[in-house]
Structure 1
């Protein structure tokens, strides 16, 4: 696929903005996937290429959090394993089943997440007893959300974050850092299946990956320095935008007839 330098430059900067947003709140795909489709990439290849470039962004943010000591990978080994297996199963099964039920339900979940962060108290680390042990969290949340990311995907970062806050009693900063580790894990698991199928467009994906890497690094830095001041409103905003986008895709004709 031949793409002009101008289009490559636009995709680079779009990916950079998406990586910045993704590192803090998720939802960067709202920018990158439409940009790939607008560049003339077929839908299936756009999904695969989007997963390729987003993997670099989640890796960049994860590496930053690990190096700053926010996340201990040894403590997350089981969650990483469960997330990888769940995402691999989801990426395989999505080729066999219709995802329309998830398409209908996930906007409601995203609205719920945004309302939770809008009205809940400021989240701080809680050393008290957690509702789920680390192993139970890994098997339930890691496996299920990983499966969802491999099978469908929108809002994965927001779902992981709210699970870490509610079930893990982590602060929003710690929850965001752990979210990126598991997000990277599920991205890689799903990407492997796309690569095996020969779907990613490497030239586009790698150009966007460079933008993602730098944007995500900057976003991860803002998470540590600005904390809840930036993360909380961004999670609310991105969750509502994702919900609106999905609802429009599902019911655009109904909305147009209602207001037309």
Structure 2
């Protein structure tokens, strides 16, 4: 479970305001009623960022709360493609930098809000890694041509296979590969938690689990909606509805 932020911009942007957003999500981001409020904040179990630099994707990850980690507040980066994630771990024994999102496999970075079961969950338990990492490994094999339409096909091939993913809670995803950045919202329960919002303006498209400000322009993703974040011209398709 988590909160996420991603953006694609026409020109490199200072990450500081987006990192402030992650810190705020870590401290007081939405939770499902009945979930344990933990010391350190509502999503205190690690953070991670992926950003484009030098023609590739770089990762920074930590198992510490984003709102109290000097490593995050000390980041000084400008970039035109970004994914950020703060975590609420279903099992606090798994809290570590290595289990923080995003993950990077074959040049593709992915962050996830939700939990996969089925064969993916079983393999994750056997290897003592995140179910999201196993999901990304399988997606990276299926998604050979890194374009919008092929991503939709690859996602559906996995998410529509109950043997692979089981009765998963949600597949809210941020995915980056090269210049391309994509966001998917697909929930099966707890609709009010597994949210994703889009804000598109001149030169900048942002997706976030919750609006980052009180200003106009934020609109919720439909359930099953996949969006390619292209500055000023995002495109979307509804892949499937809630099960």
* TM-score normalised over the length of structure 2: 0.29
* TM-score normalised over the length of structure 1: 0.27
Higher relative contact order (CA 8 A, sep 6+): 1
